[in-house]
Structures are given as C-alpha cells and as structure tokens.
Amino acid sequence: MRFTHVLLLAAAVTGLVAGCGRQSGSSSSATPGKAPGPVIALVPKTLNNPFFLDMQRGAEEAAKAAGVTLVVQAAERETDVERQMQIIENLIQRKVAALIIAPSGSREIVPVVLKANQAGIPVLIVDTRLDAAAMQASDGKTVTFIGSDNYEGGKIAGKFAVERLGGQGRVAVLEGIAGHETGDARVRGFREALKGAPGITLVASQPANWERDQGYTVFQNILQANPTVTALFAANDLMALGAVEAIAAAGKTGKVTVIGFDAQDEARAAVKAGKMAATIAQNPALMGRTAVEKALAHLKGETVPAEIGVAIELVK
C-alpha cells in the first residue's frame, strides 16, 4: 500500500512539473482526422485582452476549416515587447511555416521579422503596422498588413465628440503606449477632428499603456487636475473602462462623455448602460481568420494583396 501511495505521489508531482513547464498564453488547434499540414503561428500582443481573444478565435476557425495546425503564443502584457520577440525567435527556431504577428512594438520587432525573412518564413502583420522607416532601413519584408484604419477610427471618435459636446468643452485623451503606431494613429485622427471645433480645448493627453488599471489611475489624476473636463477619448476600451471606474469614484458618472475603441462586449454593455457614450468597432475575429487564410494562400504560391482593410464603425 505504501508503494502504491509513493507511485501516486510521484505521478502527481510529475504532472505538476509538466504543467508548470507549459508556456502561459499558448494554444494549438487542428481539424481532427485530417493531416496537420503546415504549422501556422499567431503571435498577438497578449491573450489577456478580449480583442486578441477574438482574433485568436477567428484564426482558429480558419485553421480548423483548412485542416492545419495553429499555434498561438503571446506575452502576458502588451507592453512586454522583449517577451514577444523571444516568442517569435523560438517559433523561427521551430521552423513554423508562417508567422502572423500583432506587433507590441512597431520598431522593436523589426529585427526578428528580418530573422524570419532570413529563415524563409513568411510574415503577415495584423492590427498594428510595422514602422515603415525601420523596415526600409533593414530591408525587411512582409506578405501583407491586415487591419483597420486606426487614423480614420480616431477621426470618427473625434467627430462624435464634437457633435455630442455641441462644439464646446474640455477634452482629455488616454493614449496607448507612447510611440506605438496603433494608439498614435488613433490619437492623431481624434485630434484632427477637433481642429474644426475651436470651442473644444484638449486639456490633457497621457499614455495609460492599453491597461485598465492604468486607465483608472491616469484618468483619476487628470480629473483631479482638470475637474471640469467634459469628455474623454481612450485609445482602447480597457483604458476607457478604467476611466469609467475613476469617474464613478469621483461621483461624476454621467457628467463626462467617454468614448472608447474596439467595441469589446463590456464596452458595448457600458454604452447601453449610459456609462460610456460610444466605442469604435473593429473586427478582430475577421483579422485573425483572414490572416490564416492569406498565409495559406501565400504558401500555395497565390498572390496576396500588400494591404487588406477591415471595416470600422461607431457604436453608440
């Protein structure tokens, strides 16, 4: 009996060690009963954001339909560019057939894109563009970019803010990561829309690194410094939802127009509840699905457009 207990304990410890060895935020899928075919890798910025979970879902649907293997790996935080680079380098060593990447750093990951080029692995970029100057300087190549027009999305948000405020008000902005192409484009578009409304003043524009808790803290500080702020544009919904919590804590619910970006389920619910005024809808599932389909098309020798747009719309 003691020998049996020892065996059971050893098995339990072995299972625990194996579980600890798995990479957080990783998954793979393939159609049962079919040959796995080429291995396609998707590397989103994180899997702790519903936006990228939707992207993963779309990619998995496409992989299942094609009967190929999809590997999904991501860093814990969107700000962890170094971890994303390590993941990509490991996938290059694994010799995956194609890489689909949502860059955490538009400039920073260019060197690993070049490594993929040198290894003969095609790279497709989704959601966030690579830095054009860095790519040109490195002579790096990508198959295509699949994503929304973030600048236009920011303009849509800005036009809505102008209309909602009647052309008069004090506005704040929560940016993403400083120097990050996606957030920068959204903020540029928003500011461009405000230029036609001289009665609106931009009182603060600060990064909150795409994260909900930072959205709360940063906007709490903005409210303390600018208690008469009347509207907020957050470059993603997580930051917007954090700001909504800061507004509630300050007893100002309903007094600040909040506009987000991504149209996540919780943000849509906040719009319906009147806690947010609007959010900009993208289609991350379509991005993921299209990326897998175009990766397979490229591997078959088919021509893939250099850029594939995904429609956006205002949800209010």
pLDDT tens track for 72-90? 999 999 989 999 999 999 9
3 or 49, which is more confident: 49
The residue type at 209: N
d(CA 272, CA 260): 13
User: What band does 180 get if pLDDT is binned at 50, 70 and 90?
Assistant: confident
Q: What is the pLDDT of residue 4?
A: 39
Average of per-residue pLDDT across 105-123: 97
Please determine, for residue 260, whether its predicted confidence score (pLDDT) is greater than 70.
yes
Give yes or no for a contact between 177 and 209, defined as CB atoms under 8 angstroms apart.
yes
Bridge partners, residue 146, by sequence: 126, 308
Residue with tokens 């930072």: 214
Give yes or no for a contact between 226 and 253, defined as CB atoms under 8 angstroms apart.
no
Q: What is the largest CA-CA distance in the chain?
A: 83
CA triple 105-291-120, angle to 5 deg: 75
Query: Could you tell me the two tokens for 217?
Result: 């803290």
| Domains assigned to the chain | 23-148+284-311 (3.40.50.2300), 150-281 (3.40.50.2300)
| DSSP-derived pairing of the beta strands 313-315 and 278-281 | antiparallel
Q: What is the pLDDT of residue 178?
A: 86
Q: What is the pLDDT of residue 25?
A: 56
Q: What is the pLDDT of residue 7?
A: 36
Query: Could you tell me the two tokens for 148?
Result: 């929304």
| 22-47: pLDDT as tens digits | 344 566 655 444 446 799 999 999 99
Q: What is the pLDDT of residue 265?
A: 94
- Secondary structure of 184-198 in the HEC alphabet? HHHHHHHHHHHCCCC
Whole-model pTM: value is 0.83
Q: The dihedral of CA 299, 29, 59, 108: what is its sign?
A: negative
- Give the rounded percent of residues in the chain with a pLDDT score beyond 70: 89
- Give the rounded percent of residues in the chain with a pLDDT score beyond 90: 86
d(CA 121, CA 98): 5
Q: How confident is the prediction for the chain on average, in pLDDT?
A: 90
Residue with tokens 């127009």: 257
Q: What is the pLDDT of residue 5?
A: 41
d(CA 188, CA 208): 16
Please determine, for residue 1, whether its predicted confidence score (pLDDT) is greater than 70.
no
| 204-213: pLDDT as tens digits | 999 999 999 9
Helix axes 212-225, 237-249, angle to 10 degrees: 50
d(CA 13, CA 105): 39
Q: Give the SS3 label for residue 98.
A: strand
Contacts of residue 73, defined as CB under 8 A and 6 or more positions apart, other chains included, come to: 23, 25, 26, 41, 42, 43, 87, 90, 91
User: What band does 173 get if pLDDT is binned at 50, 70 and 90?
Assistant: very high
Give yes or no for a contact between 155 and 192, defined as CB atoms under 8 angstroms apart.
yes
Please determine, for residue 57, whether its predicted confidence score (pLDDT) is greater than 60.
yes
User: What band does 6 get if pLDDT is binned at 50, 70 and 90?
Assistant: very low
Bridge partners, residue 73, by sequence: 26
278 or 7, which is more confident: 278
